[in-house]
Amino acid sequence: MLKARISKNARLSSGDLFVVLNLIDYCTTNLLITTGGEELMPLAASIISEQGMTGLLLYKLSLTFFVVITSKKLFTKSAWSLLNGAFSGIVLWNTIGLAANCLYSLL
């Protein structure tokens, strides 16, 4: 039997956080689009119109892993902080959009 052990000092690496933020970005974008929202980024909007949400997921996953693999050694801690801060802002923006959409549907 396997036992799970959670360390009190467990932390996500900057690259891991980047992957998680991109997955959350995809999920919130998917929710927004399925509830009547639209993609504001032109490249992502064109991928969605041509390939659908599955195409967007594959694009995001491949780009995310490319960035993580190629820049693990190249990025400084401050560059990762800037990149993860930007994606945190995107996730926050999407979350605000989802909350506004929920409030609007209640009215």
Query: Among residues 40, 97, 22, which one has the least CA distance to residue 48?
Result: 40
Residues 6+ apart with CB under 8 A from 40: none
Q: Domain-by-domain residue ranges, the chain?
A: 15-31+43-106
- Token pair belonging to 29: 């974008």
CB 39 within 8 A of CB 29: yes
Overall pTM > 0.95: no
pLDDT by position in tens, the chain (length 107): 566 666 666 678 899 999 999 999 999 999 999 888 889 899 999 999 999 999 999 999 999 999 999 987 788 989 999 999 999 999 999 999 999 988 888 87
- Angle (nearest 5°) at CA 53 between 47 and 58: 75
- The per-residue pLDDT for 1 is 58
